[in-house]
Chain A
């Protein structure tokens, strides 16, 4: 079955630690995205990548980093510089970056809690 997988589903981190969230897709999509979801808020874009070895900052990139070394993988690192990292993180992909016509497919999400 084609789709997007995120791991782990739940993640706990101590303050001051970096942590990496995994996102893998087997849909052969060029574009991938990371969003952050907080209670009562819409999704906010952290980073996006329209092609392998290229990525761009979204609206709230501070304290986060990404890489796109393979088409199917787009890991997100939450660094200790992120002041309020506790949130639900969603990865998505689409065939291209033409989101007015393409459909975004979302993974099941990772809930990160900083202790």
Chain B
């Protein structure tokens, strides 16, 4: 079956540091890949997505590149801010699953940015 593995947190960084959150996946077909962000006490928001190999998703200074050869979709940001403190979820949806295209989520990585 499909699965998503992401690095365990929490990740604590100083403001303006470089961020990488690792995400790898297992899928039967060619999935679409997503990063969602959850701020404290709120629902999830889509941060970025990529639908095919070598696509780069980007939003709000965050980037992730769909690497089929390494089955990875690592999230990066060059300079984090305190306002980026949140939980980040990597996810996939596999059109090869047929019918309803379920989204499989990783366990989430908590990011804390300190001033």
Seen from chain A, the residues whose Cβ lies within 8 Å of a Cβ on chain B are 4, 6, 40-43, 45, 48, 50, 56, 58, 90, 92, 97-101, 103-109
Does A106 lie within 8 Å of B107, measured CB to CB?
Answer: no
Pick 28 A–B contacts, CB within 8 A, sort by A: A4-B43, A40-B108, A42-B4, A42-B91, A42-B107, A42-B108, A48-B100, A50-B100, A56-B100, A58-B102, A90-B43, A92-B44, A98-B95, A98-B101, A99-B100, A99-B101, A99-B102, A100-B32, A100-B93, A100-B94, A100-B95, A104-B46, A104-B103, A105-B46, A106-B43, A108-B41, A108-B43, A109-B42
Does B43 lie within 8 Å of A109, measured CB to CB?
Answer: yes
The reply to whether the CB of B57 lies closer than 8 angstroms to some CB of chain A is no
- Report which of A56, A90, A100, A105 forms a contact with B101, defined as CB distance below 8 A: A100
Chain B residues positioned under 8 Å from A97 (CB to CB): 100-101
Give the docked Cα–Cα distance between A99 and B34 (Å): 10
- Report which of A6, A100, A101, A106 forms a contact with B44, defined as CB distance below 8 A: A106
Seen from chain B, the residues whose Cβ lies within 8 Å of a Cβ on chain A are 4, 31-32, 41-46, 49, 51, 89, 91, 93-95, 100-108
> Closest CB-CB distance, B6 to chain A, in whole Å?
9
- Report which of A43, A56, A106 forms a contact with B45, defined as CB distance below 8 A: A106
Does B100 lie within 8 Å of A42, measured CB to CB?
Answer: no
Chain A residues positioned under 8 Å from B49 (CB to CB): 103
Does B102 lie within 8 Å of A45, measured CB to CB?
Answer: yes
* Known interface pairs A42-B108, A100-B51, A101-B51; A108-B42 also in contact (CB < 8 Å): yes
> Closest CB-CB distance, A44 to chain B, in whole Å?
8
For the complex of A and B, 9 pairs with smallest distance between CB atoms: A106-B43, A42-B105, A99-B93, A100-B32, A100-B95, A99-B101, A100-B93, A106-B44, A43-B105
> Closest CB-CB distance, A30 to chain B, in whole Å?
12
Give the docked Cα–Cα distance between A90 and B44 (Å): 9
